[in-house]
């Protein structure tokens, strides 16, 4: 508790609410949001409205949080573009959702909301710049970082965090492979859509050459239209897949990368602590040798003691930093796992619902031409294939997509509103049953006995 007072103090609260995304330069829209602050020092108001920050300004603030809060798994700000058409309703809806989710995750962390830079981020006028931009990362970066990452990981006595980084790295690698596979599938599906469009053109050509049988001519024309619709639906499905699953996986991979790097920073600081401990021991041995000499040099003694004191302070500072990072990451480990699972389930649900919707649309268009296929001749046309024993085909043309559910299954569509109302009614009944005390129960039982 002494190292992490933020985790045990519930009086601090902040809420950011994204109101609108205003158009600006490409890849740099303006985010307009409101802020509500409670219990935090440095703020002149409790509520702020119409705060306007460009995407690049929010990115700089996000990078500052990553550098200055080594003990926190800081969420990464999602990109300003999606796989949906630029400027469309789908892109606007997705950006509103993912940026609001980022704001909620940042303000949910008790350490981040107490950062002094948050005051400037909220209260500054339009044209925000990071005030504490001179603050640099306390760990190595660039080529030195790559070199240190090749060294063996220092011993970690805490099994949860020792196993956490390999798990995150594995998930990060799998996410990258999945995103690359989706990009490859995107190229293949574009080629498939082009081939279906070519098939539509050739079917239309067959209709032009059919001059003998009007039923066949009509069928070829309808099949050509269906093939054209299918090619367009394939392109729409491709965009929807990349917008739901592709963009979601990319955002998840970015978050996993920052979690992996935060755990790497902990290992680097642990290695610095081991070096500081070794340096302190050497300084202590050196000071002891100087003190044990027969002829003492006051200048050398003072210098040795001063170096020993500095080394001891540096070791204590690193020791406290390692303990604080350890304590916070033990908290955030569970939160990170929960957030990743919830996000993955969310994007899989959106992907599945989008796929189902596209297939339902295609099925509906295919069902619209069943009659054109069957009325080619009196016996049912092409619907008699492999069913030669049927002398007369009955045209049962009920639509499979009904309001109650699919015609070929007994399962019905779930109504979320009805399901929620049923759950609330069940909870209300349970509360009524649990709210019956002993006296009321006795009176009820007595009334039942007398009535009998």
Q: What is the pLDDT of residue 198?
A: 93
The residue that leads in pLDDT, 358 or 413, is 358
- 178 and 122, same structural domain? no
Structural domain including 93 reads 1-131
* Residue 401, in any domain of the structure: no
Q: Which pLDDT band holds residue 125 (cuts at 50, 70, 90)? A: confident
Mean pLDDT calculated for residue range 149-176: 88
Share of the chain above pLDDT 90, in %: 40
Q: What is the pLDDT of residue 369?
A: 82
Residues 93-123 have pLDDT tens digits of: 999 999 999 999 999 999 999 989 999 999 9
DSSP-derived secondary structure for 265-299: HHHHHHHHHHHHHHHHHHHHHHHHHHHTSSS--HH
Sign of CA dihedral 106, 110, 116, 119: positive
Residue finishing a domain among 108, 131, 154: 131
- 439 and 333, same structural domain? no
Residues 168-195 have pLDDT tens digits of: 999 999 999 999 999 999 999 999 999 9
Residues 64-100 have pLDDT tens digits of: 999 888 889 999 999 999 999 888 899 999 999 999 9
Q: What is the pLDDT of residue 210?
A: 76
- 150 and 115, same structural domain? no
* Residue 410, in any domain of the structure: no
* Residue 220, in any domain of the structure: yes
- 118 and 142, same structural domain? no
CA–CA dist 110, 417 (Å, integer): 35
Share of the chain above pLDDT 70, in %: 81
Q: What is the pLDDT of residue 156?
A: 83
* Residue 377, in any domain of the structure: yes
Q: What is the pLDDT of residue 445?
A: 55
Cβ atoms within 10 Å of 124's Cβ, excluding its own = 14
Q: What is the pLDDT of residue 452?
A: 44
Q: What is the pLDDT of residue 395?
A: 53
DSSP-derived secondary structure for 127-160: S---TTTT---SS--HHHHHHHHTSPPPP-S-HH
Number of domains in the chain: 3
- 154 and 106, same structural domain? no
The residue that leads in pLDDT, 60 or 424, is 60
* Residue 407, in any domain of the structure: no
- 427 and 287, same structural domain? no
- 366 and 225, same structural domain? yes
Residue in the structure block whose two tokens are 């504490």: 132
CA–CA dist 370, 41 (Å, integer): 70
Structure token digits, residue 338: 């929960």
Residues 378-398 have pLDDT tens digits of: 665 555 555 555 555 555 556
Is the model's pLDDT at 416 over the cut of 60? Answer: no
- 429 and 336, same structural domain? no
CA–CA dist 61, 121 (Å, integer): 8
Q: Residues near 1 by Cβ (< 8 Å), separated by ≥ 6?
A: 7, 8
Domain containing residue 203: CATH number: 1.20.1270.60
48 membership: H or E segment, kind and range: strand 47-54
* Residue 395, in any domain of the structure: no
CA–CA dist 111, 118 (Å, integer): 11
Average pLDDT of the chain to the nearest whole number? 83
Is the model's pLDDT at 298 over the cut of 60? Answer: yes
CA–CA dist 99, 89 (Å, integer): 15
Q: What is the pLDDT of residue 303?
A: 86
- 216 and 122, same structural domain? no
Q: What is the pLDDT of residue 259?
A: 94
Residues 199-228 have pLDDT tens digits of: 999 988 888 887 777 778 888 888 899 999
Domain containing residue 48: CATH number: 3.30.1520.10
- 267 and 145, same structural domain? yes
Structure token digits, residue 430: 């349970």
* Residue 388, in any domain of the structure: no
Residue finishing a domain among 116, 131, 146: 131
* Residue 25, in any domain of the structure: yes
Residue finishing a domain among 94, 110, 131: 131
- 144 and 127, same structural domain? no
- 158 and 86, same structural domain? no
């Amino acid at each position: 508790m002494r190292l992490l007072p933020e985790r045990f103090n519930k009086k601090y609260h902040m809420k950011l609410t994204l109101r609108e995304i205003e158009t600006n330069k490409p890849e740099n829209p303006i985010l307009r949001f409101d802020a509500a602050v409670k219990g935090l020092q440095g703020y002149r108001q409790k509520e702020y409205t119409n705060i306007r920050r460009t995407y690049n300004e929010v990115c700089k603030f996000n990078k500052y949080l990553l550098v200055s809060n080594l003990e926190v798994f800081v969420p990464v700000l999602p990109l300003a573009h999606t796989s949906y058409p630029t400027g469309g309703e789908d892109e606007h809806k997705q950006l509103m959702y993912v940026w609001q989710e980022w704001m909620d995750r940042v303000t949910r962390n008790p350490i981040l909301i107490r950062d002094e830079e948050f005051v400037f981020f909220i209260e500054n006028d339009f044209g925000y710049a990071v005030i504490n931009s001179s603050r640099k990362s306390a760990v190595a970066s660039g080529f030195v970082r790559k070199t240190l990452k090749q060294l063996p990981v220092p011993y970690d006595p805490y099994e949860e965090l020792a196993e956490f980084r390999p798990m995150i790295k594995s998930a990060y690698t799998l996410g990258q492979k999945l995103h690359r596979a989706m990009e490859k599938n995107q190229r293949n599906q574009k080629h498939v859509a082009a081939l279906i469009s070519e098939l539509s053109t050739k079917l239309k050509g067959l209709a032009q050459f059919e001059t003998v049988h009007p039923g066949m001519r009509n069928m070829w024309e309808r099949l050509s239209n269906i093939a054209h619709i299918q090619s367009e639906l394939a392109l729409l499905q491709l965009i929807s897949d990349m917008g739901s699953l592709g963009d979601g996986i990319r955002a998840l991979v970015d978050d996993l990368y920052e979690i992996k790097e935060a755990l790497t920073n902990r290992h680097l600081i642990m290695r610095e602590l081991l070096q500081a401990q070794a340096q302190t021991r050497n300084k202590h041995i050196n000071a002891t040798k100087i003190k044990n000499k027969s002829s003492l040099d006051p200048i050398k003694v003072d210098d040795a003691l001063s170096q020993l004191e500095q080394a001891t302070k540096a070791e204590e500072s690193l020791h406290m930093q390692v303990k604080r990072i350890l304590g916070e990451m033990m908290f955030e480990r569970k939160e990170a796992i929960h957030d990743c699972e919830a996000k993955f389930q969310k994007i899989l649900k959106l992907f599945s619902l989008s796929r189902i919707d596209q297939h339902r649309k295609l099925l509906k268009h295919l069902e619209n031409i069943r009659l054109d296929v069957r009325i080619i001749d009196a016996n049912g046309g092409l619907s008699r294939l492999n069913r030669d024993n049927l002398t007369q085909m009955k045209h049962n043309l009920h639509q499979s997509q009904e309001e109650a559910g699919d015609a070929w299954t007994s399962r019905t569509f779930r109504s979320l509103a009805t399901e929620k109302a049923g759950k609330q009614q069940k909870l209300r009944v349970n509360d009524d049953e649990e709210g019956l005390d002993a006296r009321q129960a006795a009176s009820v039982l007595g009334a039942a006995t007398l009535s009998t």
